[in-house]
Amino acid sequence: MTGMRGLSVFISDIRNCQNKEAERLRVDKELGNIRTCFKNEKVLTPYKKKKYVWKMLYIHMLGYDVDFGHMEAVSLISAPKYPEKQVGYIVTSCLLNENNDFLKLAINTVRNDIIGRNETFQCLALTLVGNIGGRDFSESLAPDVQKLLISSSCRPLVRKKAALCLLRLFRKNPDAVNVDGWADRMAQLLDERDIGVLTSSTSLLVALVSNNHEAYSSCLPKCVKILERLSRNQDVPQEYTYYGIPSPWLQVKAMRALQYFPTIEDPSTRKALFEVLQRILMGTDVVKNVNKNNASHAVLFEALSLVMHLDAEKEMMSQCVALLGKFISVREPNIRYLGLENMTRMLMITDVQDIIKKHQSQIITSLKDPDISIRRRALDLLYGMCDVSNAKDIVEELLQYLSTAEFSMREELSLKAAILAEKFAPDLSWYVDVILQLIDKAGDFVSDDIWFRVVQFVTNNEDLQPYAASKAREYLDKIAIHETMVKVSAYILGEYGHLLARQPGCSASELFNILHEKLPTVSTPTIPILLSTYAKLLMHTQPPDPELQKKIWAVFKKYESCIDVEIQQRAVEYFELSKKGAAFMDVLAEMPKFPERQSSLIKKAEDVEDTADQSAIKLRAQQQPSNALVLAEPQPVNGAPSPLKVPIVSGSTQDPDSVARSLSQPNGTIGNIDPQIPSPDLLSDLLGPLAIEAAPEAVSTDQHGPIGAEGVPEEVDGSAIVPVEEQTNSTELIGNIAERFHALCLKDSGVLYEDSHVQIGIKAEWRGHHGRLVLFMGNKNTSPLTSVQALILPPAHLKLDLSPVPDTIPPRAQVQSPLEVMNIRPSRDVAVLDFSYKFGTNMVNAKLRIPATLNKFLQPLQLTSEEFFPQWRALSGPPLKLQEVVRGVRPLALPEMANLFNSFHVTVCPGLDPNPNNLVASTTFYSESTGAMLCLARIETDPADRTQLRMTVGSGDPSLTFELKEFIKEQLITIPMGSRAIVPAAGSGPAQPVAQPPSPATLADDPGALLAGLL
Amino acid sequence: METPRIDIWYGIAEIMDFGYPQNLSPEILKLYITQEGVRSPFSSKPKDKPVPNATLQVTGAVGWRREGLAYKKNEVFLDIVESVNLLMSSKGNVLRCDVTGKVLMKCFLSGMPDLKLGLNDKIGLEKESEMKSRPAKSGKTIELDDVTFHQCVNLTRFNSEKTVSFVPPDGEFELMKYRITEGVNLPFRVLPTIKELGRTRMEVNVKVKSVFGAKMFALGVVVKIPVPKQTAKTNFQVTTGRAKYNPSIDCLVWKIRKFPGQTESTLSAEIELISTMGEKKSWTRPPIQMEFQVPMFTASGLRVRFLKVWEKSGYNTVEWVRYITKAGSYEIRC
């Protein structure tokens, strides 16, 4: 570069510029100069070209846009002399990116340099390709680079670069490296003596193995050997040791590569590796020097993840944890952070939790660290390591910490505390205590879900009620309490305040006074709750207290003209109701128990997830055997949740009295009192009642006869739940599986399978090409079903994802298991559920077709003639439009056929076809490959012979057209029994159109539909 | 540093007493600086000048002028400086045009003279003809907008008689400022044609015409013709002056030192562009800019009709009047 005066003058000019503006002027001037020179090709000597290209690079490095002269730079690559070639390579790799067309011009020159004899040129070329090589390069250069890499005549310098270059080419195009031939060579490469080449090759190996670990299994022992060489034999030249650590980079890479292999089969290799790991774990400590620490810890953490990956023996795990425990007690915050983070990762391994617990106090200390990221990690770790044994300590610690924590963390903190308290509560009163404390200390950060949950708990557990009420009363004595606390205590006192009546200071009028004091301080949404509480207090005062009544009526009167509709309505209604005397009692009866549902808090916690990739919540979710919800038999008194199970929530759904009472309440009033029923999760609200409430309904019908409003037909098959006495060991199939399947093809919920022990209900929601099914597996017996297994055998066109089903279904409980469906391409095949369980000694197995059929991915679409005909004409002939004459069709009247079409979401568009004997229909099909696609169909019937018809189906996708045509044909020839059964069962004439596909809402409480499913 | 600071405080106290603006004239404020600066021992000995009584002057009727000034030769210099702002479309339509002008004076007059300035502005002339009860002379009258005067101008007399009469401060000051939006005489017309021939060639043709009197001439004319950023090579032909390509401002700069009135001059240039990597961004064609100075020409047409000096002693005065027009932002779109 010496001797280029123009360049050095330019650089010194730039350096002497006083300000940015002067620099810009100078650069623009120079660019003008370069442009002029490049344009005068006659006078452009190689020297000048080189000089100006250097200047361009300098200007580019200063941050200015250089959008010309790339041609000159690329042309320099082919220069014969080193100085020109060098600048050509350097500037090309700086200015151009892999997508640039100019690079294609250079491929050949670069190749010549790579296969050439000149080492320097080889290095230049390899570096360029390693930096900006794209797909084109990888297609034409990969073999040459491979040859260089394995050639024995090349110097390590070149081979090192070749390995990295090949890595780039592989990343750009995985086909560049042929698996068959290369695996052996790769193994040979790992025998290399030179550490530099070895490091580069290991990088390459990591990439290759991440793609396909099986092919490279021969490299596994080699990696272990490398580790042995480095860590045990310390067989490393001086220049590759870093602060006394033998090439930490190579160690880390080798261990990373090992993590891509699932297990290590060979016992001797495994032993050798564990010896190495042991050595690393033993040999690492915290030292003064930062660089040394960084290097040795990088090796250590990689070793830790390898240990976790390999599921090492317990001693080694405990050694790891002990080491991490040392880390988290160090002063240096970075190390502490890493220690905490890795400990959180360690939680994945179940049997180390006990060891981690030993460090609990240290972790709790970290919660008070001045560094927020450490505090967050500590919180995550605490959350992750919490279980029944230490929940009490941890939650109390969190509560204490809550009052000092900074605001940004409080919400997360309170949520986590609430979840832990709920999950691991040793007894329920403790749970109530914790949540009330939480609301008291951090009311602003307690979301509504948390107090909804506490109300649910209290409502569902009778022996908790007096305790909760007295607690709530205690909190009310405080001078300033949070609004959420007002809400929750008002609710609880309204419901259960009367249970305290004998305690001092808890008479209805006293309760009213203390609650009414809070009224002026609360916001609008709380006032309705207070009004309900007043009404309930009034109702519970027996004998009536005229003074209290006067006061409460005054309040109702006052709010009768409130601007808020909700408040006004309640005030008016409660006032009127309270005059009714005895009826008032009925209307304001105690709130019925809540249907159990998965805690919405946990879902919320998953949303709130902080950015840390390995958060304890996720890990925990992975650990859990299932997120399916188990509803257990109500035994709140003695049935304390057993430890270490999926969140078992005790609750009652099968108390016939309470259900009957709740059903017998006039509909209108339910609506009035209901608004505070917490509904944290709409979905589970929708899903919850389906099968659970269907059962007690049936029971209650047996006992009380038909309930007028609900109109359940008397001939309801009571066998939905087998009476306890009738339990037998034999398994009898109830209903025809095929018919049930056909019925479910046309509607979205119903019973899929039933025998004398188990009932499987299904409920589906479809949106585009996605579907969400929920399987309800109900045990009808008083003894548990064991070895429950549900496997999905998906066809190629569907992607199904079934959440794991618990192994055991407790007696008389129901298990929900969501099933996610995604349609990839059109096909008529159906998925099969292989369901098996053991009852007593009997093994029962059933193969059930899952009603995720083609028509579920159709969405009705009504077209007008202006829309229809252009589309119809646009689809010209096969394969997009297919026609077929179908014979042997079951004779159907035209309106009936229209109903049939509508029922599988193919909308008949009346009036489009002038011939009254023809049907024209349209629909939209969704799948991942086709997206939303319009489908059109036309059926021409022969009024003389109803058993034959001509059908034309068209869509934008040939396979879709074919599949849809075949599907319709199937439907027309073998009309499913279920769909025909609907019509008479609904009690109307056969011609009554089922114009709208039944919506899930109507189905859920339409007994007719349920009945049809049973038939 | 200590002494000047005290002076600065003192000065600020005079200017803004209790936060109210009191005395903003620098000439008077100078009188308050009684301190002497740091002098080097080698400089000449300070002259003993009489310390004038600042208070008297401030409280007197003529706050801006000291009494007892005496000059051997009584002279008044009056400059009218105008700058023309123009934006013209490529077709030659005037999109925006105005002139901002200043009347600058420099007085070396003894005693307390009273001056009266007459311009060919509309209101002044109308008022005059009304008072003299004779029809206004046919001739060009100028309508001035936004006139602002120096504080020495007697506004009551301006309101009643529409004449600018004043007792001038000593030395240099700006007597008035004005703006004109109508009837502007543009000194130059520019006719540009710029053709893009394909991706790498351009042809530029610019004709500049001077439209002021033939006897006058413009000085320091600079025409800046913008060209695209990727300009590589330029070839010029000019009838007068010199042109070159300046890459740091992406312009062809054409300089003509002296441009006589009623003449025209052309530049034609061929430009070669270099091909670029980035997708071709269409060139935005910024406007052509022009700089010039035309002495003895006013774009507004404003003239001094008279400048009368009256003083008790009745000495003779010499009055010098100059006109000059400069380019403000003189832009022609192309």
**Do B46 and B81 fall within a single domain?**
no
* B276 Cα to chain A: minimum distance (Å): 4
Nearest to A36 among B232, B250, B275 (CB): B232
Torsion of CA A272, A274, A279, A285, to 10 degrees: 160
Q: Does A104 touch chain B (CB under 8 A)?
A: no
**For residue B137, how many C-alpha atoms fall within 13 Å in the half-sphere facing its CB?**
9
**Do B192 and B280 fall within a single domain?**
yes
What number of other Cβ atoms are within 10 A of residue A526's Cβ?
17
Q: Is the pLDDT of residue B164 over 80?
A: yes
Pairwise CB contact (< 8 Å): A102 & B277: yes
**Do B303 and B216 fall within a single domain?**
no
Judge whether B273 lies within some domain: yes
B chain contacts of residue A35, beta-carbon cutoff 8 Å: 230-233, 247, 274
- Position A200 scores a pLDDT of 93
Q: Between A610 and B31, whose confidence is greater?
A: B31
Q: Which residues contact B279 (CB under 8 A, 6 or more apart)?
A: none
Q: Give the residue among A245, A148, A145, A146 at the shortest CA–CA distance from A195.
A: A245
Q: Does A33 touch chain B (CB under 8 A)?
A: yes
- Position B59 scores a pLDDT of 63
Residue whose structure tokens are 């539909």: A1009
* A21 Cα to chain B: minimum distance (Å): 10
Task: Tell me the pTM.
Answer: 0.55
Q: Between A160 and B282, whose confidence is greater?
A: A160
Judge whether B64 lies within some domain: no
- Position A603 scores a pLDDT of 62
Pairwise CB contact (< 8 Å): A100 & B277: yes
Nearest to A28 among B233, B248, B276 (CB): B248
C-alpha–C-alpha distance, residues A568 and A692, integer Å: 35
Pairwise CB contact (< 8 Å): B277 & A29: no
**Do B305 and B171 fall within a single domain?**
yes
Give the count of domains, chain B: 3
The domain locations on chain A are: 1-95, 113-177, 737-852, 857-973
Torsion of CA A405, A406, A409, A413, to 10 degrees: 20
Nearest to B247 among A31, A38, A100 (CB): A31
CATH number at residue B227: 2.60.40.1170
**Do B240 and B284 fall within a single domain?**
yes
Pairwise CB contact (< 8 Å): A32 & B274: no
**Do B196 and B289 fall within a single domain?**
yes
Judge whether B254 lies within some domain: yes
Judge whether B98 lies within some domain: yes
Pairwise CB contact (< 8 Å): A28 & B247: yes
Q: Does B274 touch chain A (CB under 8 A)?
A: yes
Pairwise CB contact (< 8 Å): A40 & B249: no
| SS3 at position A482 | coil
Q: Which of B244, B277, B279, B283 to mutate to test the interface with A (most CBs of A within 10 A)?
A: B277
Q: Which tens digit of pLDDT belongs to each residue from B248-271?
A: 898 999 999 999 999 999 999 999
* Residue in A closest to B281 by C-alpha: A67
Pairwise CB contact (< 8 Å): A68 & B233: no
Q: How far is CA A128 from the centre of its chain?
A: 41
* A448 Cα to chain B: minimum distance (Å): 55
* Residue in A closest to B200 by C-alpha: A39
Judge whether B31 lies within some domain: yes
Q: Does A32 touch chain B (CB under 8 A)?
A: yes
Q: Report H helices in A747-882.
A: 865-874
Nearest to B274 among A24, A28, A68 (CB): A68
CATH no., domain A737-852: 2.60.40.1230
DSSP type of residue A590: P
A chain contacts of residue B251, beta-carbon cutoff 8 Å: none
Q: Report H helices in chain B.
A: 2-15, 26-32, 54-59, 122-131, 155-161
Question: Cα–Cα–Cα angle for A343, A348, A349, nearest 5°?
Answer: 95
A chain contacts of residue B230, beta-carbon cutoff 8 Å: 35, 67-68
Q: Considering just the CA atoms, what is the radius of gyration of chain B in Å?
A: 27
**Do B290 and B304 fall within a single domain?**
no
* Residue in B closest to A71 by C-alpha: B277
* Residue in A closest to B275 by C-alpha: A68
**Do B203 and B167 fall within a single domain?**
no
A chain contacts of residue B249, beta-carbon cutoff 8 Å: 25, 28
- Position B205 scores a pLDDT of 94
Q: Give the residue among A168, A204, A210, A171 at the shortest CA–CA distance from A185.
A: A204
Reported in sequence order, the residue ranges of A599-741 that DSSP labels E, i.e. its strands, are 629-630
CA distance between the termini of chain A: 91
Helix axes A248-259, A219-227, angle to 10 degrees: 150
Q: Give the residue among A521, A456, A445 at the shortest CA–CA distance from A488.
A: A456
Q: Does A622 touch chain B (CB under 8 A)?
A: no
**Do B25 and B115 fall within a single domain?**
no
Q: Which tens digit of pLDDT belongs to each residue from A802-829?
A: 877 878 887 777 888 888 888 888 888 8
**Do B197 and B150 fall within a single domain?**
no
Q: Does B270 touch chain A (CB under 8 A)?
A: no
C-alpha–C-alpha distance, residues A897 and A902, integer Å: 9
- Position B54 scores a pLDDT of 59
Judge whether B33 lies within some domain: yes
**Do B259 and B195 fall within a single domain?**
yes
Q: With contact defined as beta carbons under 8 Å apart, do A53 and A87 qualify?
A: yes
* B235 Cα to chain A: minimum distance (Å): 12
- Position B43 scores a pLDDT of 55
Q: Which of A21, A36, A52 to mutate to test the interface with B (most CBs of B within 10 A)?
A: A36
Segment 238-267 of chain B within 8 Å of chain A by CB: 245-250
Pairwise CB contact (< 8 Å): B230 & A68: yes
Give the type of residue at A520: P
Q: Does B272 touch chain A (CB under 8 A)?
A: yes
Domain of residue B266: give its range: 188-294
* A137 Cα to chain B: minimum distance (Å): 20
**Do B164 and B214 fall within a single domain?**
no
- Position A650 scores a pLDDT of 37
* B327 Cα to chain A: minimum distance (Å): 24
Residue whose structure tokens are 């009932």: A759
| Interface predicted TM-score (ipTM) of this complex, two decimals | 0.74
Beta bridge partners of B86: B97, B330
Which stretches in chain A have pLDDT values below 70? 1-2, 312, 350, 505, 582, 596-731, 974-1015
Residue whose structure tokens are 């052996």: A184
Q: Which of A14, A28, A59 to mutate to test the interface with B (most CBs of B within 10 A)?
A: A28
Under CATH, which architecture does the A857-973 domain have?
2-Layer Sandwich (3.30)
* A115 Cα to chain B: minimum distance (Å): 30
* Residue in B closest to A22 by C-alpha: B248
Q: Does A25 touch chain B (CB under 8 A)?
A: yes
